[in-house]
Amino acid sequence: MYAVYLIFASMIFVTAQARYVMYLTGQHPEPPADVALVAGITHVALAFMSSRSFNQVSIDATSEAAEVKWPFFTTVNRTRTQFQKGTKVLIAIGGWGDDEGFEVAARTEEGQELWASNVARMVTDTGADGVDIDWEYPGGNGEHYLQPNHTNPTKAWQTTAYPKLLSTLRKHLGPSKLITAAVPGLPRDMLAFTSTTIPIILPSIDFFNIMTYDLMNRRDSQTLHHAGVQASLTSINAYLSAGVPASKLNVGFAFYVKYFRTDASPAGRKKCLDAWNINSGIGCPTGIMEDPKTGGDLGKTGGFSWHDGIPSEVSESFKAAKTSGKWDAERGGYGYWDEKENLWWTWENEKAIVEKVERVVKAKGIEGAFAWGLGEDGDEFEHLQTLNKAYNGLQAGRHARNEL
């Protein structure tokens, strides 16, 4: 009887401890209606407000309603009705390609003060529990990294300005609001996240959402698992060795599918066939997927969320990918090379989600997970259910053991 009581008590304790974060996006703003599916979620990050919204001097402090001052796809109060009582609601700022407002803000001390005070005002006005800072990425490698004035050397100053912007924000928000950060998953993008900068960043940040997805992207030239176990471990290990404690890390999961066109030349196809037969598809050449002069997307990659469904031009290929794909036990990823269409498919299916919880979250002693994004998994929410079971099950088990 006593033991049963302890297990029950510790399960309650779990929800207070382990973080389970969902992005809710303007593109796919509908969470599941079934409350059981959202019961384990501890934080919701509404994505995105633009980083530029906070650079203006004259944001009206007076009578206007929060929705007028801070137009957004939903409100914090409405969001609270869609989740369990006590779920923290954050406003995510920035996102891929939206780095300009951060740069203007970070450039000078006055810019930092203005931006941070405006963010704090927005948090007060909307009633949010805090903000998630998605600057992709301080120090370079953003959307425009090959364009004049956007190259990495022109952004080197940001590696010291980013920690300052965060500490200025902490000063304005105070200790009780949350500040979290979405941070790059690939070591090549971690320009502002080093053993020098991390100790300065840490005091401002409650937890980091490590984007352990899109780890294959248009800047690569051969196939990889875009959210695989091995690549995720590389990512997590980089943050741990730079000094982020495991207690502040969240591992990212992707509720969407990606595909890449592979090299259709005879020589390319030969390499891809070998890669498929010997290496679960890894190492098949794609050729150049990004314009080396402008950094523009050459249209060789695509993706879709579960909510959007499968574009018709690749639907046959994806059908084959689901039935004939391979689980790569060594690297921890599911993928399929379509030799008729010269397409590489990579996504987190049920097996991949379960293995990543086991081999990354559990193995590294991590207390946080998140997904991009909740509505992207509608209307079936199958991947959410898998992650709910694997992740919440793991944390419940851990805490039950700790208590007993």
**What's the token pair of residue 322?**
């689901």
Nearer to ligand NAG, 22 or 128 (CB): 128
β pairing state of 88-94 and 43-49: parallel
Strands (E), 219-348: 249-254, 256-261, 301-305, 326-328, 333-338, 343-347
Measure the CA angle with vertex 203, ends 100 and 365; round to 5°. 105
Task: Supply φ then ψ for residue 395, to 5 degrees.
Answer: -65, -40
CB of 292 to ligand NAG, least distance (A): 20
The answer to whether residue 323 forms part of the interface with ligand NAG (CB under 6 A) is no
Nearer to ligand NAG, 88 or 399 (CB): 88
Nearer to ligand NAG, 51 or 126 (CB): 126
CB of 196 to ligand NAG, least distance (A): 26
β pairing state of 326-328 and 333-338: antiparallel
Nearer to ligand NAG, 9 or 61 (CB): 61
Nearer to ligand NAG, 66 or 146 (CB): 66
CB of 208 to ligand NAG, least distance (A): 28
CB of 396 to ligand NAG, least distance (A): 32
Q: What's the sign of the alpha-carbon dihedral 99, 104, 109, 113?
A: negative
CA distance 221 to 389: 35
Nearer to ligand NAG, 11 or 66 (CB): 66
Q: Which residue has the tokens 């471990």?
A: 233
CB of 85 to ligand NAG, least distance (A): 13
CB of 149 to ligand NAG, least distance (A): 4
Cis peptide before 325 (omega within 30 of 0): no
CB of 210 to ligand NAG, least distance (A): 31
Count of positions on this chain that bind ligand NAG (CB under 6 A): 6
Q: Which residue has the tokens 């794609």?
A: 286
CA distance 176 to 182: 19
The answer to whether residue 10 forms part of the interface with ligand NAG (CB under 6 A) is no
Kind and range of the H or E element at 278? helix 266-279
Binding residue (CB under 6 A) for ligand NAG from 77, 196, 237, 247: 77
The answer to whether residue 146 forms part of the interface with ligand NAG (CB under 6 A) is no
Binding residue (CB under 6 A) for ligand NAG from 127, 199, 365, 393: 127
CB of 375 to ligand NAG, least distance (A): 22
CA distance 101 to 55: 7
CB of 312 to ligand NAG, least distance (A): 40
CA distance 266 to 272: 10
Give the count of beta carbons closer than 10 Å to the beta carbon of residue 379: 10
CA distance 17 to 7: 15
Binding residue (CB under 6 A) for ligand NAG from 10, 42, 82, 126: 126
Which of 375, 403, 373, 371 is CA-nearest to residue 387? 371
Nearer to ligand NAG, 79 or 395 (CB): 79
Give the count of beta carbons closer than 10 Å to the beta carbon of residue 366: 23
The answer to whether residue 149 forms part of the interface with ligand NAG (CB under 6 A) is yes
CB of 77 to ligand NAG, least distance (A): 4
CA distance 169 to 318: 44
Residue 209, Ramachandran bin (φ over 0: left; ψ between -120 and 50: alpha; else beta)? beta
**What character string, x for contact with ligand NAG (CB under 6 A) and - otherwise, covers 23-62?**
----------------------------------------
The answer to whether residue 66 forms part of the interface with ligand NAG (CB under 6 A) is yes
Positions in the binding site for ligand NAG (CB under 6 A): 66, 77, 126-127, 148-149
